[in-house]
Homo-oligomer: A and B are copies of this chain.
Amino acid sequence: MPLGQRAGDKSESRYCGVETEYHDDMPHLLTHSLSGGFDFIVAPLVDPSYRPSSMRNDVGSCSVLPVAASDLVLSPSQWSSHVVGKISSWIDLDSDNEEVRLGSEITLKQEIAWASHLSLQACILPPPRQAACGNYARCVNQILQGTSNMQLWLRIPLEKSESMEDCSADANSDLPAGGMFDSWEWWNSFRLLCEHHSQLSVALDILSSLPSNNSIGRWFGEPVRAAFVHTNSFLTNARGYPCLSKRHQKLITGFFNHSIQIVISGNVRHNISGDIIEALPANNDESHEVTPSRHSLKPYLDYVAYIYQRMDPLPEQERFELGYRDFLQSPLQPLMDNLEAQTYETFEKDIVKYTQCYFQLQYQRAVSKALIDRVPDENASTAIMVLMVVGAGRGPLVRASLQAAEETGRKLKVYAVEKNPNAVITLHSLVKLEGWEGIVTIISSDMRCWNAPEKADILVSELLGSFGDNELSPECLDGAQRFLKPDGISIPSSYTSFIQPVTATKLYNDVKSHKDLAHFETAYVVKLHRIARLAPSQPVFTFAHPEYSKKGNERYKKLLFEIPPDSGSALVHGFAGYFDATLYKDVHLGIEPSMATPNMFSWFPIFFPLRKPLYVPKGSLVEVHFWRCTASTKVWYEWCVTSPSTSPIHNSNGRSYWVGL
């Protein structure tokens, strides 16, 4: 039974599980948990006292694996939908004792094989016993090579501490002993050994104390599938019911937002008066009629459901963009190809509803301010400003300009220059429909070669890509400024690209799945969601217009990012890119997160991947180089990192990714 209804939320995090002990009556265990309101159980599949023959004295007896239940007691769909297997937690593949090590390997492989046979969707792997978990990773990696469907979730405590003093010594908690500790390092080492295998994910164990927010933030770029919330991390409210600290609540909300399922774990710790019922009849108790007994962990589940139900509904725009989350798209080639009507449709159908108002309004504001600056009130009725919209598309900037003229009482003569003949047809219809024939002249031409009959006071364009200059606005406006008056105004007057390092396992794996170099040397437009932003973004390239120096449009920028020390170490899969444009004076438009303008659906961020994820030890600086290179027929970026380690230069000579002129 899902935690609740939340408008627009279709993610799996509505489902909540419960961790159970070993029980040999699986149907009863499942029925009890489902009737208690849980959606699935995380259950051991094999008797925890089992050891393989190599570890027992009775060598040679070829006994049957003592499984919790025959595969026949549940239907395949019950196994698959409601049971997550829990691998025996005694296994220790990095034990110094060779017998334990080899026995553990046999057991792990046997249990996974059994779980596969049951068609489970996932199995939980016990946490590594120590940072050095090379043999455990090698064995899991071997298993992953031969497993086609089942997910393996490595259990990792959400823990980062400078010393172990603040970690309560729970002998059964499977936590490591030792000094400074960051469990992320274990996960990182494990998944590097297993090469980011897409079926290897994380199940976090939430403890009663939480590490710093920055260090928790890293996990949102990792493939976390589930979070175990132990009953002993719950507090008790005034009425004796379980509740969570504010920070825990925020964390759980973050999990819900990132499709991470909650699993309640542990024994009842809250004595709710008159409400205590035995968890489950003991094993081998013959008398278990399935009474509709209340599940002892229900109060914890209720509290988690309460957090879920309390969340705001997804905003309409977010809901629309759900399908785009973390989905890699190749950037447009607006100069080489004519945008298909489909593209305009996708953009405009929803832009009209969510975005265009704002986008258009900012242009209107900018044009208004420019008009007022350029035409004093006393000349308003006589002076006619020549305004050219270059790249008019289907007309939004023409409309914004005319509205600005109306708003400010200035007079305009508008040229709408558009190279796509199909868009020109639409423009003609629009002009006719709106009765703009006397004001707007439509020019079907590439702005770079148009021979303008007069010079413009104001040049309005929107040629910006997610990374600002990546759709070649600089080259286009260099061409168009020929017909701008010497003191004429360009809207936008400048734009700047920004990048920041991110952890983005999902994106990295999607790029990697193409198995070639070219995809690792391509920038993607993507609605970033399951990522961790590791440091504030920094400006990369700035272009101002008009530009009369002979500077050219090649650029080189070296940036140094500092990941906050309390984050701990991190893995950088690439760089998220944004832009911010100054349309005119204080009117700006952009998607850089810290100063983004609202509802900018037209532009998702851009993502520059790294061919090999960059491990950044705690406190290290990330040094990045970005180049914008130009040749006669194309423009491209090259990028690399030189600290904390050196990567190859990506996309040399634009071999993999370029924008045609």
Question: Is A250 an interface residue, CB under 8 A from the partner?
Answer: no
Q: Does A141 contact B (CB under 8 A)?
A: yes
Bound-state Cα–Cα, A556 to B558, Å? 44
The answer to whether A20 has its CB under 8 Å from any CB of chain B is no
Those of A604-661 within 8 Å (CB) of chain B: 612, 615, 625, 627, 629, 638, 640, 642, 645-649, 652-653, 655
Chain B contacts of A142 at CB under 8 A? 629, 652-653
- Cβ-defined contact, A648 with B194, below 8 A: yes
The answer to the question of A145 belonging to the interface, with a C-beta cut-off of 8 Å to chain B, is yes
Q: Does A146 contact B (CB under 8 A)?
A: yes
Q: Please give the count of copies of this chain that the complex contains.
A: 2
Question: By DSSP majority rule, is chain A's interface helix, strand, loop, or mixed?
Answer: mixed
**A138 with B645, Cβ < 8 A, contacts A193-B640, A612-B612 known:** no
- Give Cα A653–Cα B629 distance, bound, in whole angstroms: 44
**Which of these binds chain B: A26-34, A129-137, A169-177, A201-209?**
A129-137
Query: Contact between B648 and A138 (Cβ–Cβ < 8 Å)?
Result: no
Query: How long is the Cα–Cα vector from A364 to B645 in the complex, in angstroms?
Result: 54
Q: A615 contacts which chain B residues (CB < 8 A)?
A: 645-646
Asked if A193 contacts B556 (CB within 8 A), the reply is no
Within 8 A of B (CB), among A98-151: 101-102, 132, 134-135, 137-138, 141-142, 145-146
Check B141–A649 contact: CB distance below 8 A: yes
For the complex, is A195 an interface residue (Cβ under 8 Å from B)? yes
A189 touches B (CB below 8 Å): yes
Q: Is A582 an interface residue (CB 8 A)?
A: no
CB-based contact B138/A646 at 8 Å:
no
| Closest chain B residue to A515, Cβ basis | B517
Chain B proximity mask over A173-201: 1 for CB below 8 Å, otherwise 0: 00000000000000011001111000000
Q: Do A556 and B646 form a contact, CB below 8 Å, given A145-B652, A652-B145, A653-B146?
A: no
Candidates B101, B195, B647; contact of A556 at CB < 8 Å: B101
Tell me, rounded to whole Å, the shortest Cβ–Cβ distance linking A91 to chain B: 15
Q: Shortest Cβ distance from A104 into chain B, in angstroms?
A: 12
Least Cβ–Cβ distance between A515 and chain B, in angstroms: 9
Contact mask for chain A residues 272-304; partner B; CB cutoff 8 A; 1 contact, 0 none: 000000000000000000000000000000000
